[in-house]
Structure 1
């Protein structure tokens, strides 16, 4: 039995699957992977992306932050790909219990997934730092410079920036789902961004599946490692 046959068998035999995904899940939708060779981190900007996407940079250089944010992180025309669609179908069948994602693009929900835990927030939600009023992504994209609320306050994306803490409730819910999972599929993530990557440690089962283009620090602990396209791996479940 080859690797893909084993993966299909594991998925078909389980009724309690959790999926944990990173940037590689959305690359087929045209959203760049920060750490790939042709991703955001290899391009040249006035400031490194890690700096621009930090809380302190947002506060000191808000206009420069938004220039980068609108240009590189907001992809209003992006559509769900075969991974998003397959995961939504697995949830509809009652097999997949939750998607835990590091992505901020909202494509899982657009594909039809209902239980999505967004560790790093979403570009689809934005709020006024003064009054708390929420705005959608269209308002941000149509704003010139820094988006301003009707009350005069500055609008901030509901996205976890560097130097900011993850939402405790989402973290706790993610831990609960992972710790009770029969199968944990981890895909499209290099597992280097903490604390999100540390959630894998809570898995207690013996069906840990890792799907990634390049090796990760947990490959030697996985029960099954699939090297290559995560889209190809999930094409069977579309």
Structure 2
């Protein structure tokens, strides 16, 4: 990015009072968490189907083994990108973070207003009675029980109805935010933004990829991502094709100068 455009991004962020941030896997790769679609991503280990609702029902043990090995990162720590977003929230600059990530690192960094659009790997729930299980509890069940994925808190004729599913949105699945009320809240949040910052996502997975379309025409779109997005050439859009931590650190330093 040319210096004058970088300076413009600094000015836009400095003037923002209600910045909404959309984040994807690229924010967490600097914390040692794999993304999904790159050459070293999760989908190089198995096809996308393994993270589908159908596969979960058909092969719950194998699903859990893969999910616990590749999606659950309790020891991962926030990186500079997470920390700066948290600081900007405390300073009244960032109003909401809407994330595709399921690792909880935004909250671990101290961000409060986080919408986990694709859910979280911290918990799992019975599909019948909604009893919540911590992932640590599910790991213990996995290690000590044969049918660890079947809820023992409720009863139904079909065991499949009592499957305990991680609270993440799978292919063919819906989640807390995949409702009329959930979508309306997100779209209203984006419509109210005075700056939309997109970090570490290619914006190619629907419906998350549609969210920038709902910003006001006057609202600038800032994209920091290694790789193209469908919005890169849009009007009032500014692109920094660099790492998240490096870019946000430079931007934050310029805000202070």
TM range (shorter): over 0.9
Report whether the alignment pairs 1:213 with 2:209. no
Specify the SS of the correspondent of 1:104: coil
Query: TM-score normalized by structure 2?
Result: 0.86
Report whether the alignment pairs 1:227 with 2:225. no
Query: Alpha-carbon deviations, 1:12-36, whole Å to 9, x = none?
Result: 1111100001110110111101011
* 5+ residue gaps, structure 2: 155-161
Q: Could you say which residue in structure 2 is the equivalent of 1:115?
A: 113
The two structures, once aligned, show a CA RMSD in angstroms of 1.7
Query: How far apart are the structure 2 equivalents of 1:185 and 1:199?
Result: 11
1:154: how far off? 2.9
What is the number of equivalent residue pairs in this alignment?
A: 234
Query: How far apart are the structure 2 equivalents of 1:21 and 1:5?
Result: 22
1:148: how far off? 4.2
Contact 1:126–1:137 at 8 Å: present in 2 too? yes
Report whether the alignment pairs 1:33 with 2:40. no
Specify the SS of the correspondent of 1:99: strand
1:158: how far off? 1.0
Q: How does 1:1-238 map to 2 (within 5 A)?
A: 1-43=3-45, 45=46, 48=47, 50-144=48-142, 146-151=148-153, 153-166=162-175, 167=177, 168=179, 169-204=181-216, 205-221=218-234, 223-236=237-250, 237=252
1:3: how far off? 3.7
Query: How far apart are the structure 1 equivalents of 2:96 and 2:67?
Result: 28
Contact 1:32–1:39 at 8 Å: present in 2 too? yes
Query: Alpha-carbon deviations, 1:161-205, whole Å to 9, x = none?
Result: 101134223322211111111100011001111011111110113
Contact 1:181–1:203 at 8 Å: present in 2 too? yes
Specify the SS of the correspondent of 1:127: strand
1:40: how far off? 1.1
Contact 1:206–1:223 at 8 Å: present in 2 too? no
Contact 2:231–2:237 at 8 Å: present in 1 too? no
Query: How far apart are the structure 2 equivalents of 1:148 and 1:81?
Result: 36
Specify the SS of the correspondent of 2:95: strand
- Flag the structure with larger Rg: 2
Query: How far apart are the structure 2 equivalents of 1:224 and 1:3?
Result: 7
Contact 1:117–1:170 at 8 Å: present in 2 too? no
